[in-house]
Amino acid sequence: AIPEPQREAWKKHSVSGFSDKDGFEKELVRHVETTLARSMYNCDENAAYAASSLAFRDRLILDWNRTQQRQTYRDNKRVYYLSLEFLMGRALDNAMLNIGQKDLAKAGLSELGYRIEDIIDQEHDAALGNGGLGRLAACFLDSLASLNYPAWGYGLRYRYGIFKQQIVNGYQVEVPDYWLHFNPWEFPRHDISIDIGFHGQVHKKTDENGKTVTSWEPGQMVKAVAYDVPIPGYDTPTTNNLRLWSSEAASEEFDFQRFNRGEYESAVAEQQTAETISAVLYPNDNLDRGKELRLKQQYFWVAASLYDIVRRFKKSRRPWREFPDQVAIQLNDTHPTLAVVELQRVLIDLEGLEWDDAWNIVVETFGYTNHTVLPEALEKWSVGLFQHLLPRHLQIIYDINLFFLQKVERMFPDDRDMLRRISIIEEASPKMVRMAYLAIVGSHKVNGVAELHSDLIKTTIFKDFVAIFGPDKFTNVTNGITPRRWLHQANAKLSDLIATKCEGNGFLNDLTMLSKLEKFAEDKEFRKEWAEIKFANKVRLAKYIKETMGISVNPSALFDVQVKRIHEYKRQQMNIFGVIHRYLTLKAMAPEKRKKQQPRVSIFGGKAAPGYWMAKQIIHLINSVGSVVNNDADIGDLLKVVFIADYNVSKAEMIIPASDLSEHISTAGTEASGTSNMKFVLNGGLIIGTCDGANIEITRETGENNIFLFGNLAEDVEDLRHAHTYGQHSLDPDLVKVFDEINKGTFGSPEDFGGLVASVREHGDYYLVSDDFHSYIETHALVDEAYKNQEEWVSKCVLSVARMGFFSSDRCINEYAESIWNVEPLVVKDDAKA
Ligand code: RUG
């Protein structure tokens, strides 16, 4: 720190940041003319975006510095959210809104010759995630900062985020997303770098007190370098930190000898191998592929993060037993589970604690969130891979397992099979480490992400663990979304209209205030304004569709949207089969009758994992159906089918506010929560959905009359599958007609869609498409009917929004804070706000 006598000089020059339009303009021009070395003669929209972002970043970093100083000074317990994915989307708009300076920026930009919308549009999405799991982490960061919790996110700084999706001849083509060309939102911290080890050998020796000391001598070192991203809270000076690690070669020395010998490739080989670790985000959602590089990423990231956390704790010179009073670490899915093992290693091998003392600290520190019951998504790593990559960690896992099995054996002495079932090591060939089991054993709380899901994990995949640890270890925290991004930012006009009836913008901090809208559900004037906003949002989307795809859609038609990762369990195939059914029905109608039908636009969007063949077939079928239906003169505006390429956060911000109806139609019991369902309802759209994930709680809150539910229940799924296996599977006759049409070649070569049809017809229909098809089609007919009465439809939408208070990620974070982390917000005094 600077000595006292010199502090006055510092204070005199301390930066305070702009607070009015002129100040913003001055900063913008300064960045254009100095940082970017441009002038008013060559400042295009991209440069204006860059300069605006730098101006706001400077402003954020002042709050960030103060927040970090405050948190260090008060030294309260902090939360560390470990997530391999943070799907942040764009930062500029969010920063302007959260610090309450968007109007000022709009006026300033306009004075300098730009439209704020065009400037915002220049930003490349930060797409460090696949789907719901990564976006949830981003919403959580927003809430943690907005609620003033001392909290850090830790993740990886992938050089390539999720791939960009192009649609070529109806097929998905993946293109790399190199998003780091220009990223003003990160601060490289080359002074914060940590060497992380891999491979090597484990040594045991006895020290002078006769105690066995184990040490690990890694065979490879890689350097983790910190990049910090400021996370501004809404309407508060709290600006938290997201620390992303980037991998570099541990030794900075270039291999000159090799270079001089002309061995250019090998001279840079070490650097390249090291950089590979943080190079790519694995593009799998709800799927584990067991690749060595992925395990390397996981260890690299958790080891660096823990080193950082432990270093911060040690500065306070508290005794180790106080670690869980100062530190709460949340494992977002099993991806960071190695942190459990790493902390145990640090405590016993490096800090010399006894096993039991260390283990108590570990378990008290960690909480684990499970996001799926799908077997293909539950991570397992082969013992051989562990032995090769992290030999000391494997030993510790074996010890953790041994003590755990001994405990279980004492509890259930006569149940040998129980030991086999719950062992962290699966006795298969090859032997596997079950990461979810390790996460449960190493955490004090395990939570699911919606009520049904949390019940299901307790009664199915983790049933034995409930018997061992008792039900209190397992809890539910239903997911939530940040209303700042998903209403205020995405749908500014609706947000403003709501503010006129909810006594201002307070609902953005306390979403339950939306209940004040209830009484306006029957107010004709209010409904009219509401409907006009929805229409304007649809016009905006229609314009985008026309400009990017050349397809004209009528904004007065019902916009029916399903945007999410493409997955068989999410059943986009059922949706497109339903669209084909609608098409055939329309075609078979007499023209007079046809004209009276409700016009629809079926909108799809979402990425398929590059290796997921069936998901890619679904995309191809959607596009093939689109090219037939959209060009059929008999059909005209009655039905259009659109696949919006490269669905991402910023597209979601445009699509969701334009939806009349959204589809959340997973096979019951498969979608842990779903969070886009909440975004759609909050934006004044209704849902067609199954009794799955958070749909159930949305129904409970908004009312059964305001949602279109259909399909079999989770409790019946197993029996139905069983029946399919034993040949009692008669296909729905309407679905048969759809398959016949596909097989006739109406939508292109039938072989292209053979896998999709066969999965239902011949391979057991695991996702119950046929079982649910009839009620799905019937429910869509009810939607058509309901949509005809626009007054009533809008009133349902208003009522639904009024009842969405529960689904804020603020509620969710407060629940985590109270029931899992035991942390308190750090109240910011008014003088600090100034
Ligand atoms: O599939 C789930 C969603 O249902 C859920 O809403 C989201 C956030 O909790 O997490 C998704 N998820 C689960 N993404 N990956 C997994 C399994 O690793």
Average pLDDT over residues 787-810: 98
Q: Annotated catalytic residue: which of 59, 157, 345, 570?
A: 570
Q: In this predicted structure, what is the pLDDT of residue 101?
A: 97
Enumerate residues 6+ apart whose C-beta is below 8 A from 463.
none
* Residue 565 falls in the annotated catalytic set: yes
Residue 253 pLDDT exceeds 70: no
Q: Is 93 in the pocket of ligand 1 (CB under 6 A)?
A: no
Residue 371 falls in the annotated catalytic set: yes
| Lowest-pLDDT choice from 108-117, 253-262, 652-661, 806-815 | 253-262
Q: How far is the CA of 372 from the centre of ligand 1 (A)?
A: 6
Q: Is 679 a catalytic residue?
A: yes
Q: Is the pLDDT of residue 832 over 70?
A: no
Q: Among 77, 159, 564, 620, which one carries the catalytic annotation?
A: 564
> Which residue from 501, 291, 254 is spatially nearest to 382, judged by alpha carbons?
291
Annotation marks residue 570 as catalytic:
yes
Lowest mean pLDDT among 164-168, 641-645, 824-828: 824-828
Q: What is the mean pLDDT of residues 279-297?
A: 95
Alpha helices in 390-447 (DSSP H): 391-411, 416-422, 435-441
> Looking at residue 625, what is its pLDDT?
99
- Nearest CA residue ID for atom 14, ligand 1: 133
Catalytic residue among 679, 729, 780, 796: 679
What is the CB-side half-sphere exposure of residue 437 using CA atoms within 13 A? 24
Distance of CA 545 to the CA centre of its chain: 25
Ligand 1 nearest atom to the CA of residue 130, by list position = 14
Instruction: Please name the residue that has the structure tokens 């069983």.
Output: 722
- CA separation, residue 591 to residues 585, 601, 636 (Å): 12, 19, 12
DSSP H/E element including 760: helix 754-761
Query: Does the structure show a pLDDT above 50 at 439?
Result: yes
| Residue, of 830 and 357, whose pLDDT is higher | 357
Local structure of 716: helix, strand or coil: helix
Banded pLDDT at 254 (limits 50, 70, 90): low
- Residue 506: CB atoms within 10 A of its CB come to 13
377 Cβ closer than 6 Å to some ligand 1 atom: yes
* Alpha helices (H) in 151-268, listed in sequence order: 256-260, 264-267
Task: Report whether the peptide linkage leading into residue 555 is cis, meaning its omega lies within 30 degrees of zero.
Answer: no
Ligand 1 pocket test target in 83, 130, 133 with most atoms within 8 Å of CB? 133
pLDDT over 80 (residue 267):
no
Output the residue whose Cα is nearest ligand 1's atom 15. Answer: 286
Question: In angstroms, what is the span from residue 132 Cα to ligand 1's centroid?
Answer: 5
- pTM across the whole model: 0.97
pLDDT(834) > 50: no
Average pLDDT over residues 578-595: 98
Residue 833 has pLDDT above 70, yes or no: no
Q: What tokens appear for 450 in the block?
A: 């919606």
Would you say the CB of residue 288 lies under 6 angstroms from ligand 1?
Answer: no
Mean pLDDT of 335-341: 98
Is the pLDDT reported for residue 385 higher than 60? yes
d(CA 676, CA 597) in angstroms, rounded, equals: 29
Query: How much is the CA Rg of the chain, to the nearest whole Å?
Result: 28
Query: 233: CA distance to ligand 1 center in Å?
Result: 25
CA of 815 to the centre of ligand 1 (A): 19
Listed range (157-171, 268-282, 468-482, 785-799) with the worst mean pLDDT: 268-282
Give the model's pLDDT for residue 284: 94
**What spacing in Å lies between the alpha carbon of 671 and ligand 1's midpoint?**
7
Please answer whether residues 678 and 656 qualify as being in contact, where contact means their C-beta atoms are separated by less than 8 angstroms.
no
pLDDT at 831 > cutoff 80: no
Backbone angles phi, psi at 107, to 5 degrees: -65, -45
pLDDT digit string, tens, across residues 198-236: 999 999 999 888 888 999 999 999 999 999 999 999 999
Q: Decide if 601 contacts 557 (C-beta within 8 A).
A: yes
pLDDT at 633: 98
pLDDT score, position 748? 98
Q: Dihedrals φ, ψ of 149, to 5°? A: -80, 140
Mean pLDDT of 563-589: 98
Residue 671 DSSP class = -
- Per-residue pLDDT band for 16 (boundaries 50, 70, 90) equals confident
Q: Is 786 in the pocket of ligand 1 (CB under 6 A)?
A: no
pLDDT at 728 over 80: no
Atom of ligand 1 at shortest range from CA of 374? 17
What is the whole-number distance in angstroms between the Cα of residue 398 and the centre of ligand 1?
29
Please provide the size of the chain in residues. 834
Among 445, 565, 640, 724, the active-site one is 565
| The residue to which tokens 């034995």 are assigned | 464
Residues paired with 245 in a beta bridge: 156, 226
Whole-number average pLDDT of the chain: 96
- Give the ligand 1 atom nearest the CA of 369: 9
132 lines ligand 1 (CB under 6 A): yes
Q: Band the pLDDT of 764: cuts 50, 70, 90.
A: very high
Q: Is 78 a catalytic site residue?
A: no
Residues 485 and 142: beta-carbon distance below 8 Å: yes
Angle, CA 569 vertex, CA 563 and CA 574 arms, to 5°: 70
